[in-house]
Amino acid sequence: MGLLDNLEQRLDRIVNGSFSKAFKSEVQPVELGAALQQEIDNRADTITGQTVVPNIFIIELGSVDHERLETYFETLSVELGALADAYSSEQRYTTVDSAHISFDLDPELETGVFRIRSTAAKRPADVIAASLVAQDVTPQVPLTSFTPEATPYLTSITGEEFKITKSVTNIGRGVEADIQIDDTSVSRLHCEIVLGSEVFIRDLGSTNGTVVDGARATESILRDGSIIKVGNITLTYMSK
């Protein structure tokens, strides 16, 4: 019996079979499980011989589905997280951390339609779900919570330091970059660091990508000591 079969049976028992019988036009938990596996496969990225996949997922639901499933969000998070971990292990994928599943409301989505956003990142103590994005979503990151007393910076393997003093700091090879790195493997505007309630690094569509703690990332939370690879250049993020 496959992972999805086991998941569907467990969820049916939890909600007394209502998912499989009563809401045929609405989102079904087994659909979420199938889409979760597809998201993992679609976002798989080979880095230094390892296939790295996302581990943090936000499932966006329309108003009707969100209201109907809200009672089961905690259970669904546990079950779908276990499914994601088991599937990644079964496929011999590498993950930054164990899976975390959360749910969000998008009133513009029709009933029966959902969207999954994902990223590869360490699980924060308090996951801010709305800040995590996939490749085609622009995040809304709060910028008002940055503590000015902290002065984060980047340091290179040669000891050179680059202070981060702006809410949004661009990194790249071009003269317009706030932190300029003279290396052909770095795009003119390669990535940016955003200071908010969490500190994020966001790739700006660079040619060679941005890697955080060994995982290629469209956007990722930065923590003290995070290792960032921009093209062929390695930097370490220091929070203060």
* Predicted confidence (pLDDT) per residue in 144-197, tens digit: 333 445 578 998 887 888 999 888 899 999 998 999 998 999 999 999 998 877
pLDDT at 123: 63
* Predicted confidence (pLDDT) per residue in 219-232, tens digit: 898 988 889 999 88
Using CB atoms within 10 Å of the CB of residue 42, give its burial: 0 to 12 exposed, 13 to 18 middle, 19+ buried.
middle
pLDDT of 20 above 80:
no
Does this model's pTM top 0.85? My answer is no
Count of alpha carbons within 13 angstroms of residue 121, beta-carbon side: 32
Contact 215, 52 (CB under 8 A): yes
Cβ-count burial 169-197 (b if 16+ within 10 Å, e if not): bbbbbeeebbbebeeeebbebbbbbbbbe
pLDDT at 192: 93
Contact 68, 93 (CB under 8 A): no
The predicted model gives 38-67 an average pLDDT of 86
Phi and psi, residue 4, nearest 5°: -65, -40
According to DSSP, residue 45 is labeled E
Kindly report the three-state secondary structure assignment for every residue of 103-134.
Answer: EEECCCCCCCCEEEEEECCCCCCCCCHHHCCC
